[in-house]
A and B are shown apart, each in its own frame.
Chain A
Amino acid sequence: MKAAPTATLTSFPNRWLPYLLLAPQLAITCVFFVWPAFKALSGAFYQSNPFGLGSYFVGLGNFTALFADPAYLHAIGITLVYSLSTTVLSMGMGLFLAVLTEDLVAGHTFFRTLFIWPYAVAPAIAGALWLFAFAPQIGPATDLLAALGIQWNYALNGTQALLLIISLTAWQQIAYNFLFFTAGLQGIPDALLEAASLDGASYMRRFFGIVFPLLAPTTFFLLIMNITYVFFDTFGVISIVTQGGPSNATQTLVYKVYQDGFQNLNLGSAAAQSIILMLLVGLLTLFQFRYLDRQIHYQ
C-alpha cells in the first residue's frame, strides 16, 4: 500500500511520547485481541479439561477431527448459503430502494428515514420480534402464511428455518446497503446522466451503462462488508431465533464454535474452529485491502 503523498510527517519532541499516546490503544488490543487470540491458538492444539485441571497436547488432532466431521462440513455449507443469499438479497433490495428514492420528486427524507429504520433495531430485538411474528401456530405472520396455504413451522422444517434467518438478516442489512447506495448515487455527476438522456439512452440503458458501473466501488465494498457481517456477526440472531436447529439446519461456523465450546465443553475443538475462522477473517481483510482501493477505480 502506498502512503498518500499529501500526508505530512509529524515529529515528536520526545521519542517516548508517541508510544505513551499509543499505549491505551495497544493495551486494549492486547487484552481483548492478542491475548485471547494467543489462548485460542494454543488451545487448538490441546484437549483440555473444562475445569482447567489439565490439558494434553494433541498436535493437529483437533483440526483433522473437524474436517472428518460431516457436521462441520455441513456448517461450512450452511454458512456459505446463508451469507451469499443474504448478501444478494439485501444488496439487491438496498440498491433497488436507493434508486427508487433517488428518483422521487418529493418525500426523499421520509422514505430514507423509513428504510434506514430497521438498522436502528438491535439484532437481539429484531430476532425477538421475528420470533414472535413467525412463532409456529401462534405468530401473526404464521397466520398470514397459513392463509396463503403455506404450512409454516420453522421449528421442524430446516429449510424454513434457514429462510427465516436469511430474510431476517437481509431485512436488517437492507438499511445499511440502502444508506451506502444512496450516498453512491449522490456521487454520480448529473451531467453524465443528462448527456446520456440527450443522446436518447433509455432509463435501463442509463442505469446499466452509467449508474451501475459508477457504483462499482460501493458495490464491491458492500459485498465484502455483507459477507463479513453474515459470517461473523449473526450469532445473536441465530441464538435467539433457532439455536442452530432444527437438526443443525441453521448451524453456522460461528454458532458451532459456541455450541461445541460452551454447550458441549469440547474446548480444544472450539479453539481449532476459532483459528479457522480467524484465518478466514484475515483472508477477507487482505482481499478487501488489496482490491478495494486499487482494482475498481473511476475518476
Chain B
Amino acid sequence: MPLTTGFAAKIAKTLAALAVSAALLPMAAQTMAADRIQLSFWTAMGGMRGEVLQHLVNEFNASQQRYTVVPVFKGTYKETMLATIAAYRAHATPDIAQILDVGTATMMGSKGTYIPVYRLMQREHIPFSTQQFIPAAASYYADTQNRLVSLPFNSSTPVLFYNKTLLNRIGAKPPKTWAQMGTIGAKLVAAGVPCGFTTDHPNWIQMEQFSVWNGVHYATDDNGYQSAKNVKLRIDDPVFVKHLAQLGTWSKSGVFEYVGASPGPSTALFVSGHCAMYTASSASYPTIQAGAKFPFGVAPLPYASTQPDAPQNTVVGGASLWVMNGLPADHYPGIAAFLHFLMSDKAQAYWAKRTNYVPSTRGGFARLKQEGFYADNPGTIVAVEELKNKPPKPWTMGIRLGYMPQIRQIIRNEMSAVFAGQQTAGQALATAKRQGDQLLAQFYLSQREGH
C-alpha cells in the first residue's frame, strides 16, 4: 500500500507543519524581543526533518547571545529555490538558502548572488577545509580547485536493498556486478519470484550514479565542472547504451520491473516481497524498515565489471546550504558560526541519526561509528562506504549541468520508453543526448552577459 502511505504522509506532513509553526510562534516572539540579529534560513525541510532541523537551530541559538537563526519552511526544493531567486530579484534575500543538488550549476553560474562558503570561513577565520568532509559527499559542491562553494547538508546516495529470505531461497548473495544481477535475477524468476529488482529515480541511479560509480564520463569537460561552454552529454557512450539495453531486456524477462520514477510505488514493490531487490536512495532505509515484513540487507550498488575503474565512488544527492551575498556585514560572522556548528561532529551525528541522511563530515561519521549507530542499524554504513570507496576523479566528483531538471525529465522519458519496449536503448540515448545538448547550449548563453 505505497500510495496509501504517500497520501496519508502528505496530509500528516501538512498537519505537522501547521502544528510546528503554531508551536514556534510564542518562541519566535520571545527571541524577537531580545536584542539579537536575526538570520533567516530558508529550507525545504518539512515534517519530521523540519523538526530535527529546528532542534539543531534551537541548540545553536541557545549556545550564544548575538544571533537568532530563524528557519523558514519554503515548501519543496524547487519552491525554495524559486523563492530565493524571487527574493534576490526583490532585494530581500534570506541569509542562508537550502538549494537542491541539481540547482548547483545554476547557482554557481550566478556569480555575485552568493558568497562561497570557503571564502566566508576564510574571512571569519574559522578553520575550514574540504578535507573535513567525506570526499564524494563534498565534491558535488566543490569548485575545480576542490574548494566548497556551498555547504553539503542533507545527503544520500543509492544503495542496493535486498530481501534476505528470497535470496536465501536460491542460495545467492547480493550481486556485486550488473552481470551477476542478471544471473541472480534470472534464477529468482525461475524460482517463482515475480520480479528480480526494481529501482527508484532511474535517471539518477541507472544513469548519473551509474556513471560516477563506474568511472565513466557523463558529459564533456568533467561533467561540466570545468566550464559550461560547449558542454555535451556523453550518455550515448556504449557503456550507457549497453546498460540501458540490458535493463530493457530484463524488464521483458521479469528480472527488472519499472513502476515509475517516484519512490512510492517502487518501494511498495520491494517491501511487499514482489521484487527481491531494490536500487534506491539510502535515505529510504527507515521507510523500508517500517514496511518490510522480512529480513532485508543493504549492499553496494552493483557496478559494471567491464569498466577498469569500477567501482569508483558514488556521489550524493540532496541539497546544500548557500550563503547569499549583499547582506548587512554583521550577519556574516553569525552565518559562519552557524554553518560551523552544523559541521560539528555532534550536530552531524544528530542529523544523520534522526533523518537517515549520510553524515557529510568525517568527524560526524566517526562519532556515529563510536556511538554504535552502524552496529545497531546494519547496512546504513554501506552508503558512506560507497562515497569513501576511492577519492573522486575529476569526472566522478558530480554532475554539474545547467537545466538539469529538464535534462533529467528528457532522459527519464526516453528510459521509460525503453523499459516499455517502445524504443531501443541506442535510439533513446541518442535522442536524449540531442535534446540535452540543445538545453546545455541554451544554458551557457543564459550564463553569458551582454547582448
Residues of A within 8 A of B (CB): 47-58, 61-62, 65, 68-71, 135-138, 153, 155-156, 246-248, 260, 262-269
Contact = CB atoms under 8 A, between A and B. Distances in A.
B89 A52 contact: yes
B24 interface: no
Nearest to A48: B446
Name the prevailing secondary structure of the A interface residues: loop
A137 B446 contact: no
Interface residues of B, number: 43
Given A50-B110, A265-B403, 19 more contacts: A48-B446, A49-B447, A51-B88, A51-B110, A53-B112, A53-B113, A54-B448, A56-B445, A57-B451, A135-B3, A138-B8, A155-B260, A156-B260, A247-B260, A247-B413, A264-B403, A264-B406, A265-B82, A269-B442
B30 to A, nearest CB: 35
A268 B442 contact: yes
A137 B5 CA distance: 10
A56 B451 contact: yes
Nearest to A65: B438
List 3 A-B pairs, minimum CB-CB distance, nearest first: A54-B449, A47-B446, A47-B445
A62 B446 CA distance: 12
A49 B109 contact: yes
Given A51-B89, A56-B450, A248 B82 contact: no
Contacts of A153: 3
Given A138-B3, A264-B405, A56 B448 contact: yes
Contacts of A51: 85, 88-89, 110, 113
B446 A56 contact: yes
16 contacts: A51-B113, A52-B88, A53-B113, A54-B447, A54-B448, A55-B449, A61-B445, A137-B1, A137-B3, A137-B7, A138-B8, A156-B265, A247-B413, A262-B82, A264-B406, A265-B82
Interface in B118-139: none
A265 B79 CA distance: 11
B85 A55 contact: no
B435 interface: yes
B385 to A, nearest CB: 34
A260 B406 contact: yes
A268 B442 CA distance: 9
Contacts of A68: 435, 438
B410 to A, nearest CB: 7
Interface in B390-431: 403, 405-406, 409-410, 412-413, 416, 431
A246 B448 contact: no
Nearest to A61: B442
B449 A53 contact: yes
A137 B438 contact: no
A137 B81 CA distance: 33
A265 B403 CA distance: 7
B439 interface: yes
Nearest to A244: B409
A262 B85 CA distance: 10
Interface in B265-305: 265
A137 B4 contact: yes
Interface string B76-97: 0010011001001100000000
B213 to A, nearest CB: 26
Nearest to A153: B3
